[in-house]
Amino acid sequence: MDCGLLDQLTSEDIDRVIEMAWEDRTTFEAIEFQFGLSEAAVIALMRSQLKSGSFRAWRKRVTGRRTKHGSTSSSERFRAACHK
């Protein structure tokens, strides 16, 4: 992940990104819309901020989960107008 982008996030922003990443219904697109972080950047942030066991548990949870990707999710929560 770009260190400059991480430097721009406050500790509250980082906490919120982590919280949103753990939520089943919050898509990676919603995180990108709100914080400007791509899915790869969220993964890198989670890897750097979580303990290794927690990171592995999170990756196992979100890998292949349809609700984490806007194109396969029927959820309208946090959707940008351009994603409808």
pLDDT in tens, 12-23: 999 999 999 999
The domain of 56 spans: 3-83
Residue 78 and residue 27 in contact, taking contact as beta carbons nearer than 8 Å: yes
Give 6 or 12, the one with higher predicted confidence: 12
User: How many independent structural domains does the chain possess?
Assistant: 1
Closest listed residue to residue 30, CA positions, set 44, 16, 48 = 16
pTM: 0.75
Tens of pLDDT, residues 37-59: 999 999 999 999 999 999 999 99
Cα–Cα distance for residue pair 26/54, rounded to 1 Å: 19
